[in-house]
A and B are shown apart, each in its own frame.
Chain A
């Protein structure tokens, strides 16, 4: 809108548009490091690259060491595959195994053999948050733009015991699936999968950090808080209660499953598809404790990641940097979770008279 008005103002006046001498000093290449280290994981990844004003390039070989509790662990560079999505990206992945406990001081150092690049960073794993309770209920909702369409959601209410002082948190949900595939005349096949269903939290004052959006809002309920981070400033007492909902379609949509054929022809083409499955879903509600720096970092990249950031109409976003000798951010967080098992579902795909699967592999009814 503003750019439109700018142009219209120009039409009314004599005007010129030309490029400015944009004298941004050419900066030398700088080592870039980034990572998100969680106490709930046993394998941790640090990504490295080299960048300047304009571009990011692959980093040269680095000696990377992580020191935890006085013990040094050498990171190994991982050969990436297509599944990692890193094949064509310019950053390198280094990993190390080890438990990270709340209170651990984690120091990461990286350097090239010739000493051209050298960087260190140090962070402390925050205390474990206390996720005291998770309640769920099924609700039906409508939205402004599709008033005749009713959606079914699983609504969560999460209770957090908040210690004294200022505290910062992140919330997410991980769905774990144990799936048994069925096909007449064929043995059952069992597969497992995980995914993160989309959390709709725009109508909660804590998860939207006070910017509550109702279902009747003009521009929908999707929040820019992509990582569902929040602070305890909006808690009314020693216990904070946050709520959100997840669409049933998002939990039980089997289209995400990479279902192999039940039987293949010698040339590899599908001979027969599975025609049903038994789906056992478990939802892990994860509450992460964050230091303030991590909270600021996730807030910054989360707005950009939400899909609602348009630089012409929004304030610029600064990104924190906690690596000495390089650019980047190494984030740390501790994790507590509560798991919720959902009722087992039987889903039938159906095959046509020729025995071929129906064109819609997700005709489940809720």
Chain B
């Protein structure tokens, strides 16, 4: 009897040991036609799941033995394999694209959306970027992001981003992990991201992962295509404004690929023609983007080389001549980014993955004038004068970053790593060179040329763990620590991050999150408007970092198939915001920008409703935001230290986006946007002032900044894409209408002082009039793209 019992126990022990033995499955998920890695693809085995990271790598630890694993990705046919796993196994999967848009299989973990532990995170659908009607029919990443709840544009039609009451400099825009300082062309009408090159876009508005730092309002992580590993493909396109070209293909098949994109305004091609027609001015922009990807044998290493260069330039040339004098003038303003990066992915083991990046990033703005004047006088004397004036502003970053993904067990996804950035800022440089002919009738002077340079050492470490505690509860704690040293002073910041999620089988989830963020650069922008001449300035020994504390709470529901609902509330407190003091000249100045600004605090709070339909022929979303954003500067140099509305305070913001797959050849799109008007500063009434010398004057009375609310703006956009397959490719005609009912929304607002006759007083009185400039009325456009 004892032997029987002992035998049963031993058998049970053997079975138990076998059942508890765990194996790790890892590998890459790619597109079978192009070899492109698929980011955020789902892997599910029973109740355990994982997603591919930003580089297409996944790892999943499951009980050994017979099991079934499914790999899926939206827009692709899922693959399910029955396996008998006895040891750690590498399985690389190639998914096939599906014509039918279907939701991905449910995965236990996701990086964004309802399934994620995080809140305030949205993944921007790539199809939406291509099909959503926007200005001039140009697919634009940032324009689509503006239609998400909690995000707004500064001005109607412009691509600046103002997220949860924050300024445009509080967004970290990453292009394959490298930050871009100014991501706008044409004063913000277009962004620098070309949709053909984009693979995935993720927006973080709150609940920031610990691996991100350096900005306090949002992170926009844009990942680009690696390039087709198997065949050459590309597209050429012409729209109302620009021309574009995209080519990708293998350099060595299944080993090395490239992806190259170029886009430019028509005016860059027809510069001489424009001058031939007598126009003294021209404006153009261009983007060049390139990437080379190499997979090493063994499949454990990948090397990437990224390049981006973009430029905007406006110039004006004038030649004047009469009998006595001639004058040639050239004025130019140009700004742009240059980014180069080398990245290395390495798979240490089935559970440990690393990415290392070396990068150089430069942003520069240059404004210059050249004048050459010559005069001959009646008395026989002459004068010759050359004047050259230059104004520069810019920054350069050299950076090194390494981060690791470690998944010891499925319940823990641990990320850790560090980064070092060396910053060089030159906020303002003014140079003036005057040369004459020595006749004594002109000036000779050489002034300036070397601006004040600021250097900063920015080192950070991070750690986070995405933990599943049971079936319904998950938590993501993290810590980001930064040390920033400049001008002999060091600023240290500890930034805790915490996200919590509780979900139920009924498809309801409740989430809460807290994030502390720090920022070490500021964009100085006037309260009147933003332009490329705005200055990027670093923190200094007197200007401290900007910090924010954001708490949020939300409820989510995805129990209705093909639909997702969410309602989030947030509160954000910001310390260290910068604005120009009252009465300061924000144009060309001296090297004393620090004395022109004041530091203050800000608070923003709001509610965001998001409803998305994700499957079927008709997809889209509705995003509504109710929000408030204010600032205060206790030092007294701005509105006497009172709270006043932030320049981009907008009470209501509603966006409706609908995409409909009418037939296999026709896609329709519609968007409707409504936004409470922005703020401006207007004289409230007339008053009299007396100065210490006894002078009394009539003056405009302003009680605080941003005291006037402009009218609300709204517009409807429609578009249609007509696809046609050819033997060697596909052509798409895009017809779109921006602002269908021609709503005259204000893009710029000017104040004019006029006079009118007042019958009551019998005299002429001053009157302030507002004139709005609408540069975006109804705009139909046609575009053509040929993909091969």
> CB within 8 Å of B: which residues of A?
1-3, 5-6, 8-22, 24, 27, 30, 32, 34-36, 38, 45, 47, 49, 51-57, 86, 89-91, 144-145, 147, 170, 172, 196, 209-213, 216-219, 224, 227, 288, 292, 296-305, 308-321, 327-329, 331, 333
Contact B703 A34 (CB under 8 A): no
Enumerate chain A residues within 8 angstroms of B368, measured Cβ to Cβ. none
A316 touches B772 (CB 8 A): no
In the complex, the chain B residue whose C-beta lies closest to that of A12 is: B283
Q: Give 4 nearest A-B pairs by CB, closest first.
A: A303-B583, A55-B765, A316-B681, A210-B595
In chain B, positions 685-710 with a C-beta closer than 8 Å to chain A are 685-696, 698-699, 701-705, 708, 710
Task: Tell me, rounded to whole Å, the shortest Cβ–Cβ distance linking B691 to chain A.
Answer: 6
Contact A224 B187 (CB under 8 A): no
A52:B531 contact, CB within 8 angstroms: no
Assuming the A-B contacts A36-B690, A212-B592, A328-B688, are A311 and B584 also in contact, with contact meaning beta carbons closer than 8 angstroms in the complex? no
| Residues in chain B near residue A49, CB distance under 8 A | 688
Q: Which residue of A lies closest to B764 (CB)?
A: A55
Q: Nearest Cβ distance between residue B393 and chain A, in whole angstroms?
A: 14
Give chain A residues whose Cβ lies under 8 Å from the Cβ of B82. Answer: none
The answer to whether A320 and B640 touch across the interface, beta carbons within 8 angstroms, is yes
Measured CB to CB, the nearest residue on chain B to A1 is: B587
With A211-B596, A218-B430, A296-B636 as known contacts, state yes or no: A16 contacts B744, CB within 8 Å: yes
B447 beta carbon closer than 8 Å to chain A = yes
Other-chain residue from A8, A47, A333 in contact with B316 (beta carbon distance below 8 A): A8
Distance between Cα atoms of A298 and B692 in the complex (Å): 8
- Contacts A5-B314, A217-B590 given; indicate if A53 touches B686 (C-beta within 8 A): yes
Q: Are the CB atoms of B283 and A17 closer together than 8 Å?
A: no
Residues B687 and A51 in contact, CB atoms below 8 Å apart: yes
Q: What residues on B are CB-neighbors of A86 within 8 Å? A: 696
Binds A, one of B564-572, B654-662, B773-781: B773-781
Please judge, given known A-B contacts A9-B187, A296-B636, A318-B639, whether A218 and B582 are in contact too, CB under 8 Å: no
Q: Given known contacts A51-B687, A314-B586, is B775 in contact with A10 (CB within 8 Å)?
A: yes
Known A-B contacts A5-B531, A317-B583; the reply to A51 vs B686 at CB < 8 A is yes
- Provide the bound-state CA to CA distance between A253 and B580, in Å: 39
**Complex: A209 Cα to B582 Cα, angstroms:** 14
Q: Report the minimal beta-carbon distance from B338 to chain A, rounded to whole angstroms.
A: 23
Contacts of A316 in B (CB 8 A): 527-528, 582, 681, 702, 705
B644-668 interface with A by 8 A CB criterion: none
User: Which A residue's beta carbon lies closest to that of B136?
Assistant: A13
CB contacts (< 8 Å) of A13 on chain B: these are 775-776
Cβ contacts A to B, 6 pairs, < 8 Å: A5-B333, A55-B761, A90-B698, A316-B705, A327-B701, A331-B692
B751 at the interface (CB under 8 A from A): yes
| B774 & A18 in contact (Cβ 8 Å cutoff) | yes
Given contacts A38-B692, A309-B583, A328-B687, whether A56 and B702 have CB atoms under 8 Å apart is: no
* Most central of A16, A22, A24, A288 by chain B CB within 10 Å: A22
Contacting pair B682 A24 (CB below 8 A): yes
| Residues A8 and B698 in contact, CB atoms below 8 Å apart | no
Identify the closest chain A residue to B695 (Cβ).
A305
Q: Cα distance A303–B580 when bound, in Å?
A: 14
Expressed in whole angstroms, the minimum distance between the Cβ of A81 and any Cβ of chain B is: 14
Q: Are B447 and A51 in contact (CB under 8 A)?
A: no
A211 touches B592 (CB 8 A): yes
- The winner among B445, B533, B690, B765 for most chain A CB atoms within 10 A is B690
Contact of B580 among A52, A172, A196, A315 (CB under 8 A): A315
Task: Given A38-B692, A56-B686, A319-B699, answer yes or no on A19-B751 (Cβ-Cβ < 8 Å).
Answer: no
- Residues on B with C-beta less than 8 A from A38 are 692
| A300/B690 contact (C-beta < 8 A), A6-B748, A10-B775, A327-B701 known | no
Interfacial chain B residues near A32, Cβ < 8 Å: 687-688
Max chain A Cβ within 10 angstroms of own Cβ: one of B186, B685, B694: B685
Interface string of B761-773 (1 = CB under 8 A from A): 1010111111111
Nearest residue, chain A, Cβ from B755: A54
Q: What's the Cα separation between A6 and B587 when bound, in Å?
A: 15
Residues in A neighbouring B686, C-beta threshold 8 A: 51-56
Tell whether B281 is near chain A: CB-to-CB under 8 Å.
yes
- In this complex, what residue of B is CB-closest to A145? B443
Kindly provide the distance from the CB of B152 to the nearest chain A CB, expressed in whole angstroms.
20
Extra A-B contacts (13), CB below 8 Å, given A55-B766, A315-B528 = A2-B531, A8-B314, A13-B776, A17-B772, A18-B744, A24-B768, A218-B432, A218-B448, A298-B691, A310-B585, A314-B585, A318-B582, A318-B703
> Does any Cβ of A come within 8 Å of B442's Cβ?
no
In the complex with contacts A34-B688, A53-B686, A210-B595, A317-B779 CB distance below 8 A: no
In Å, the complex CA distance between A200 and B596 comes to 20
- Pick from A8, A54, A297: contact of B765, CB below 8 A: A54
**Contact yes or no, B447 A53, CB < 8 A:** no
Which listed residue (B445, B702, B744, B749) contacts A319, Cβ 8 A? B702
Docked complex Cα distance between A154 and B746 (Å): 53
Q: Is B758 in contact with chain A by the CB < 8 A criterion?
A: yes
Q: Which residue of A lies closest to B314 (CB)?
A: A8
Q: How far is the CA of A19 from the CA of B768 in the complex (A)?
A: 11
For the complex, what is the distance from the CA of A329 to the CA of B640, rounded to whole Å? 14
| Chain B 473-497: CB-based contact to A (< 8 A → 1; otherwise 0) | 0000000000000000000000000
Given A170-B692, A296-B640, A315-B580, check contact A144 B685 (CB 8 Å). Answer: no
**How far in angstroms is the closest Cβ of chain B from A230?**
13
Bound CA span A211–B774, Å = 38
User: Quick check: A301 and B751 within 8 Å, CB to CB?
Assistant: no
Q: Which residues of B contact A9 (CB under 8 A)?
A: 186-187, 283, 775
| Smallest Cβ-Cβ distance to A310: which chain B residue | B585
Q: How far is the CB of B273 from chain A (nearest CB, A)?
A: 15
Task: Give chain A residues whose Cβ lies under 8 Å from the Cβ of B356.
Answer: none
Nearest to B579 among chain A residues (CB) is A315
A216 and B595 alpha carbons, distance in the complex (Å): 19
Q: Choose one: A16, A36, A309; the contact of B691 (CB below 8 Å).
A: A36
Per the 8 Å Cβ criterion, residues 148-188 of B in contact with A are: 186-187
Residues of A within 8 A of B533 (CB): 1-2
- Please give, as numbers and ranges, the residues of chain A lying within 8 Å of B638 by CB-CB distance: 315, 318
Contact A53 B690 (CB under 8 A): no
Interface positions, chain B 623-644, Cβ under 8 Å from A, are: 636-640
**B516: chain A residues within 8 A (beta carbon):** none
Q: Which residues on the B side are within 8 Å of A213 (C-beta)?
A: 590
Q: State which of A18, A210, A292 has its C-beta within 8 Å of the C-beta of B771.
A: A18
Give the docked Cα–Cα distance between A211 and B445 (Å).
24
Closest Cβ of chain A to B565, distance in Å, is: 37
Asked if A14 and B592 make an inter-chain contact with CB atoms under 8 angstroms apart, the answer reads no
Across the interface, which residues of B come within 8 angstroms of A329, CB to CB? 689
A299 to B581 CA separation, bound complex (whole angstroms):
11
The residues of A that contact B698 with a CB separation of less than 8 Å are 51, 56, 90
Residues from chain B with a CB closer than 8 A to the CB of A327 are: 685, 687, 701
Contact A224 B583 (CB under 8 A): yes
CB distance from B768 to the nearest CB of A (A): 7
Chain A residues within 8 Å of B750, by CB: 3
Is B729 part of the contact surface with A, judged by Cβ < 8 Å?
no
B19 at the interface (CB under 8 A from A): no
Contact with A227, one of B687, B691, B774 (Cβ below 8 angstroms): B691
Query: What is the CA–CA distance of A34 and B308 in the complex, to the nearest angstrom?
Result: 59
Query: Which A residues touch B693, using CB under 8 A?
Result: 196
Say how far A219's CB is from chain B's closest CB, in angstroms: 8
Q: How far is the CA of A14 from the CA of B769 in the complex (A)?
A: 23
Given A55-B761, A91-B696, A304-B583: A20 in contact with B590 (beta carbons within 8 A): no
With A9-B187, A218-B432 in contact, is A319–B526 under 8 Å at CB? no
Residue contact A54 to B766, C-beta cutoff 8 Å:
yes
Which of B586, B685, B699 has a CB less than 8 Å from the CB of A30? B685
Given contacts A17-B772, A300-B583, contact A211 B595 (CB under 8 A): yes
B758-A301 in contact (CB<8A): no
- Return chain A residues, CB-CB under 8 Å to B447: 144, 216, 218
Of the residues A53, A331, A333, contact of B685 by C-beta under 8 Å:
A53
